[in-house]
Amino acid sequence: MKIFVAGGAGYIGSACTEYLIDNGHEVTVFDSLETGHRDAVDKRAEFIEGNLADKDLVVKSMVEGKFEAIMHFAAYSLVGESMTDPGKYFRNNVASGINLLDAAVEAKVRTIVFSSTCATYGEPEIIPITESEKQCPINPYGESKLAFEKILKWYHEVYGLEYAALRYFNASGASKNFGEDHSPETHLIPIVLQVAQGKREHIMMFGDDYDTPDGTCIRDYIHILDLAQAHMLALNAPRSGHYNLGTGKGLSVKEIIDVAREVTGHPIPAQIAPRRDGDPPRLIGCADLAKKELGWKPQYENANDIIQSAWDWSQKYPNGYEN
């Protein structure tokens, strides 16, 4: 298929672009490079530098390219930042995203695969979380993604645009060529590995008084190549809808640090810090629906393999995409 990948210079979009091309698809990456990196765009992909806020450019690119499908990764994604600057999240993740949908309709694109998130569930009542859990986000990031899911449903009803909203749990790990490089970095695994690389003195654990066995927050860490596989399968989803992408297993902040100590052989000093606003204590996903309906078969079963892949990438690219 000929696929338009919005946000293909970012962490998940870059690995997904590589995966799609490896599997015979043709990709055009559209990215503002505000948080993405030019070197994170697979060399085999076409590249358009642009912002989704620029509706004329989005429509022109979409009409000219004659795409069969869209993948939409372009968004701000930091829970903490969304709590201090919510408008930034609603403008980009919702308003600019609508330009992409209007362009899809104008260019008669059949289907869109959207990067949604487990943050749309807020503080779930039943763990592991299924797609029928109520969605009550506790931060503007999650709210912006939920708003876009609802808008997708109406573009489907009104215009017949097919969609798959993939609710990721914690994207992590790296492919051989593409990994996580944010500036500033806020995510747990890359920061832990920066300690092992000697770039930071210690890791701060945000809160050890949660209602979890060791008091630190529990997340479900899913490898980006497993996410990439799900995106490709979602191009042929049997119906429009929502799918969780997680492993069904959770690891606490302390457990992640222990695995990273094992993988890197570094002591990784850790300190307790106050809770971070907007963090739910426990998010673990049930992905049975994606397995059943999309035929998704995740390959990365455990956190050691995930952290090993991220560690390998950071050894290969010690300064991220800077070099």
Q: Which residues are catalytic?
A: 141
Site for ligand UDP contains 138 (CB under 6 A): no
Q: Would you say 247 and 257 are in contact if contact means Cβ atoms under 8 Å apart? A: no
Site for ligand UDP contains 40 (CB under 6 A): no
Least separation in angstroms between CB 139 and ligand UDP: 9
Q: Among residues 75, 253, 307, 310, which is the contact residue for ligand UDP, using CB under 6 A?
A: 253
Q: Among residues 3, 58, 74, 205, which is the contact residue for ligand UDP, using CB under 6 A?
A: 205
Structural element, H or E, at residue 261: helix 253-264
CB nearer to ligand UDP: give 79 or 166: 79
Q: Among residues 101, 152, 161, 188, which is the contact residue for ligand UDP, using CB under 6 A?
A: 188
DSSP, residue by residue, 11-22: HHHHHHHHHHHH
Q: Would you say 167 and 174 are in contact if contact means Cβ atoms under 8 Å apart? A: no
3-state secondary structure 55-85: HHHHHHHHHHHCCCEEEECCCCCCHHHHHHC
Among residues 148, 149, 170, which one has the least CA distance to residue 90? 148
Site for ligand UDP contains 163 (CB under 6 A): no
Site for ligand UDP contains 228 (CB under 6 A): no
Site for ligand UDP contains 170 (CB under 6 A): yes
Site for ligand UDP contains 182 (CB under 6 A): no
Q: Among residues 72, 145, 167, 219, which is the contact residue for ligand UDP, using CB under 6 A?
A: 219
Which residue of the chain is nearest ligand UDP when measured via CB? 217
Residues in contact with ligand UDP by CB under 6 A are 79, 170, 186-188, 191, 203-206, 217, 219, 253, 276, 279
